[in-house]
Every structure is written in C-alpha cells, then in structure tokens.
A and B are shown apart, each in its own frame.
Chain A
Amino acid sequence: MKPVSSAFQWFTGIWIFLIVISGMLLPIPYIPILKETARNIYFHVPQSFAMVFILCFSFWNSFQYLRKRDLRFDMKAESAASVGMLFGITTIVTGAVWADYTWGVFWNWDPKQTLFLGLLFVYGAYFVLRLSVDDPQKRALLGAAYNLFAFVMMPFLVFILPRLLPGLHPGAPEDGGANNPVFTGINLLIRVMLYSSVLGFCMLAYWLYTIRTRLLILKSKF
C-alpha cells in the first residue's frame, strides 16, 4: 500500500490544528444548557463521521477480498475496521463527557448512545471472530463475510433508529424528527467549522489507515 504524501500529512496536521484553535476561540452562539460545551460539536460529531468514512473502506476491502481472495485486502479491511473502532471509542468518550455537562450523567441509555455502543460491539465481535481462527485464509473469509453484515447494520444503528426513537440527542422525534439540526437549524459559522472538521478527521482516519495497513503487511512478512 502506498504511503500518503508528506504534503497530505502536513495539510492534515495544520488543518486539524487550525480547527482545534479556531473551534475554541471563535465566537459561538449562546445555546441554553450547552453554553460553551457546544464547541464539542467540532470534535464529537466529526469523529463519528470519520468512523463511518473509514468503515466504508473496511467494507469495500472485505468485498474485494471475497472477489479476489487476496490477503492484502483482508489486512486493509482489518486495519480500516480498527481505525474505525478507535474513532468510535473517541466518539463515545467525547459524547459521554458532553452528556455529563448537559444531561447530568455520563450515560443515560439515550437511543443514539446505546445503539452506537451496540455498533462498537458488532465491530468488536469482528475482531473476536478473527482471533478465534488460526488459518489466515479461513480467518479472512469469515472476517470478510461478517464485515459485510456489520457494515449493513451501521446505517440502521447510527442514522435510522435513533431518529425514530425518543431520546435526548438532536434529531430525535421530539426534536423535529428527521431534521437533524446539524444539517438545517444551526448558524453558518458552526456549519462551516463542522464540515471543515469532518474533512480534517476523515483525512486523519485515512492517514492512520495507511500506516496501520503497512504495519500489518510488514508483520505478515516477518
């Protein structure tokens, strides 16, 4: 697998640095209850977008493995899934800290929180399944087949069910249903910052994915 260019690395580094600094220092509209914690939208939400973005690579590589039976695709699928898990965990952690400030507890079984955790368990099972098989080809085959099912569950667990069930997250039925305020009801500066941050975290996820894949390929050679 080709490494990302040095220009890509520097661009990602500087882009996220600017997001971190401007996300903290630019003015943010006063939102009752959220107050200054609203700035977490620039970190918590993009990390979940980055997870979805990199899990698409995992799905695609598992699909390619099933077509071509080349173990390199399996390694790519595994590394993308592990980077996706990393971003999933950071999303849960930043969300729990935010929830403590705004809802009063770290965890309150809100449908979006709970289903997102469920998705992490689904992908956790992917790694457990892989660990339980010794033969590389068999492991890759089982892993790839499972990964396709895991990916198909993702839109339901992350995007569809939380909008149908009552809860505290924005986008729940009491909050306007499918009109998630991230896409419609927030001011332009927040939206520009949010999408810039999504871009930055997706680039970071891709960079981590390339490093992890190259490490796995190296490991398989020695």
Chain B
Amino acid sequence: MESQTRRAPGVCIPWEGKERELPPLTGDLELVRKIWEEIDLFAYIFIWHCLVSF
C-alpha cells in the first residue's frame, strides 16, 4: 500500500535526515541505520497506538 504522505508509515524521523546530521562515520553505517530505524519505529508505534488503541 503506497503512502502519498510526507512521512512514510513506520517512520517518525527518516534516517536520510538523521544521517546528514552525523559526522563521517568511522564504522558500520548500516548498523547505525538499523538501530536508528528500530528505535524510531517505537515512537511511531507509540503515537499510532495512542490514536487507535488508547
């Protein structure tokens, strides 16, 4: 299901924006991205469950 809205489903602060804030990484970029997106998803779940469940 395609989203036409500004922030994709599952995302609060897109990694692409966050990545630009970081200094050149010395290590594993993918690891940083993965963890960023996992924790960001928690915020997404929080706000949408506030609306839908609570």
A, B: real partners? no
* B residues whose Cβ falls under 8 Å from a Cβ of A: none
